[in-house]
Amino acid sequence: MASSGIVEQIVLFDAVPFLTGHWLHFMTLHNSGFVILDHPDYDPGGATLLIYDPAILDTSTAAYIEVERILNTTQTLHIDGAKNCFKVMFLLGDQQTFDRMNVLISWKPQQYSWAIPVNGDFHFAAHTVMCNHDLYFLPFSSWVVTKMGMEKVVKETDDNIANFKQYDHFYLLLTLAIVTLLNSVFDMAQLNFPESIAEFVRGNQGEFCYICVAFSLTSP
């Protein structure tokens, strides 16, 4: 590992049990007749409390000095007593903000000991989808895009986050199609062991049986 204190704390994560758990969960759901793309439908129990603070003008999140300004404004308002005297504060932001906050905290650990940066969930989802896209577009999903005539909305490269929903919908659709196909080919007794299925189709490099890709895509 690198010598930076931050990097040294990273613990290697064994993803296989995590992926296998999700694989089994979604395969079982689909096999039981549930729509795996459904979103939770429940009563959250009243209004969500949100309090807007004044916007910080003429500031973005690209430069360290700007993110430092955000941290200092938050500290004035919510740590040092202008509005609150929190001892710790979770701070959600986009990828840029999250990244720069972590670096600033490593530079000034005492000053920002109250700050706990957290990935914003939208940004986390968007980056995950685009990572999958970068990994699998050429070997796999480009074939689907061509077959379905979706070249104008799902491209090999796209740097506009405003188009994220197009990619999200495409990969959700593709995931559902893969799960439906696998359930029509294998029974649940076989699907309970994804490694043996992967071994079974290892020799197939055809268009339909790229099981490793399917395993990854169907295990969010």
Partner 1 sequence: MGSATSLAVPSWQVDGSREPHLQFANDATRSALKERLLSGDYSDLTAAGEVNPQLKAAIVALIGARDTESTDEDAAENEQPSVISKRRAGLELIVTIATRLRNQNIYNFLAVVLSVLALGSRVPLQFWGILTMMGVLFSDRWTRDLVKEIGDEVAASRHPHASVNIGFGVTDNKAYLTKVTYINAHVEGLIDAPPRANGQFLYTVNNLQVPVIMPHGIDLEMERGALSSP
Positions that interact with partner 1 (CB under 8 A): 9, 48-61, 66, 70, 73-74, 78-79, 83-94, 97, 105, 109, 113-116, 120
Q: What is the DSSP string of 108-120?
A: STTTTTTEEEEE-
**DSSP states along 139-197:** IIIHHHHHHHT-TTTS-S----GGGHHHHHHHHHHHHHHHHHHHHHHS-HHHHT-HHHH
Nearer to partner 1, 103 or 185 (CB): 103
Helix (H, G, I), strand (E, B) or coil at 99: helix
d(CA 175, CA 36): 9
What is d(CA 93, CA 110) in angstroms, rounded to the nearest whole number? Answer: 21
**Closer Cβ to partner 1, 84 or 190, answer by number:** 84
In the bound state with partner 1, the residue whose beta carbon lies nearer, of 15 and 63, is 63
User: In angstroms, what is the minimal distance from the CB of 110 to partner 1?
Assistant: 8
Spatial distance between the Cα atoms of 172 and 36, rounded to a whole number of angstroms: 9
Nearer to partner 1, 61 or 141 (CB): 61
In whole angstroms, the minimum distance from the beta carbon of 218 to partner 1 comes to 31
Residue with Cβ nearer partner 1 (43 or 58): 58
Minimal distance, residue 107 CB to partner 1, in Å: 14
Nearest to 136 by CA among 170, 163, 186: 170
Please state the closest distance from residue 220 (CB atom) to partner 1, in A. Answer: 23
Minimum Å gap between C-beta 42 and partner 1 is 17
